[in-house]
Structure 1
Amino acid sequence: MSIITKSIASADREARYLNPGELSAIRNFYEGGFSRLRIAVTLTENEQKIVEKASLKFWERCHDTPSNSGNRIYRSSCLRDQGWYIRLITYSIVLQDIEPLAEIGTIGVQEMYNSLEIPLLNLVIAIRCLKEVSLDLFSLEDAAELAPYFDYLIQGLTP
């Protein structure tokens, strides 16, 4: 839920106007909007390149993994999932909120990967590789804004 939705919901529950702190937070959200959109556009436009480079890094680090076994289904599933995480991060960065990552990216995902017998540690390493490759595309300022979303995923998926 974005800062706007949270602020309005809170004020409405209490039958009051938005307070100066909430209005300031909303103003800051709007002022940072162009930066967040620029980051999301860069991730979206480079998703395939990010996934390809990150996968190579991952397979260098994890030689013995189902996605590197020669099985096309495992490999394509791995690439698909990495793209899916990039997409979730773009949602979160635009909203400036981890809710899409929490609701879609971590809750229930651990059980799914465990049921597929995919080690969660491998998934964490894959997300770290995505982070490394993605951050290379950005200035230090934009990378600092983006990195916490990857870190949230890494923490949420660490066994």
Structure 2
Amino acid sequence: MSIVTELILNADSESRYPAPKEIQVYQNFVKTGEQRIRIAKILAENEQRIVQNGSARFWERVPNTPSNSGNERKTASCQRDQGWYIRLIAYSVLAGSEKPLEEIGTIGIKEMYNNLEIPLRNIVECMRCLKEEALSLMSEEDALEVSAYFDYVMRSLS
């Protein structure tokens, strides 16, 4: 759900017009639209690079992990999931909200990885590596904006 959708739904649930403070939130959202689109485009166009280089960086730091076991199926599954998180982060950037990550990507995540017997600390480190790779492709201002979404995923795993 985007900030705009939330703003409208909140006002509508109280049968009122958006308050001046809410209008200001909307104005700020519109002002940052070009930046959010630019960031999402960088993530989309570079997803494979981010995943490949992020995985390599992760394997240097954590060489003994299922994704680096030589089992091509496990490696492909892990990298597919990494690409999925890059996409969810792009959705969240576009929405200006962590809601897409929360609603689609983080609810039940701990249980899933625990059931697969993948240490959560490994997933957090992998996300850190993906974040580093993604940020290396962006300006300082854009990196600051997208960083919070990677951090949100890492916090949800801690």
Instruction: Calculate the TM-score normalised by the size of structure 1.
Output: 0.96
- Supply the distance in 1 between the matched residues of 2:153 and 2:139 (Cα, whole angstroms): 21
In the TM superposition, what is the alpha-carbon distance from 1:23 to its structure 2 partner? 1.0
**Partner residue in 2 for 1:110:** 110
- Aligned residue type for 2:12: D
Match of 2:97 in 1: 97
Shift of 1:18: 1.4
Query: Match for residue 19 of structure 2?
Result: 19
Q: Look up the equivalent residue of 1:116 and give its one-letter code.
A: L
SS in 1 for 2:16: coil
C-alpha deviations, 1:60-108, integer Å up to 9, x for none?
A: 0111111111001111011101101100000000001001111222111
How far off is 1:45 after superposition?
0.1
For the residue of structure 1 that corresponds to 2:17, the secondary structure is coil
d(CA) in 2 for partners of 1:45, 1:84: 14
State the 1:7 CA deviation. 1.4
Query: Counterpart of 2:10?
Result: 10
Which secondary structure state, in structure 2, belongs to the residue aligned with residue 70 of structure 1?
coil
Counterpart-to-counterpart distance in 1, 2:107 and 2:11: 29
1:119 is aligned to 119
Matching of residues 40-119 of structure 1 within 5 Å: 40-119=40-119
Matched position secondary structure for 1:117: coil
1:38 to partner: Cα distance: 0.4
Unaligned runs of 5+ in 2: none
Runs ≥4 residues deviating over 4 A: none
CA separation in 2, counterparts of 1:78 and 1:29? 34
Q: TM-score, normalised by structure 2?
A: 0.97
Equivalent pairs: percent with the same residue?
56
Q: Compare 64-73 and 11-20 and name the one that shifted more.
A: 11-20
TM-fit CA distance, 1:47: 0.4
- Name the SS of the counterpart of 2:74 in structure 1: helix
- Aligned-pair CA distance for 1:5: 1.2
Partner of 2:150: 150
In structure 1, distance between residues paired with 2:116 and 2:153 = 19
The alignment partner of 2:118 has SS state of coil
Matched position secondary structure for 2:78 = helix
What is the CA–CA distance in structure 2 between the aligned matches of 1:123 and 1:153, rounded to whole Å?
10
CA distance in 2, matches of 1:11, 1:102: 22
Shift of 1:17: 1.4
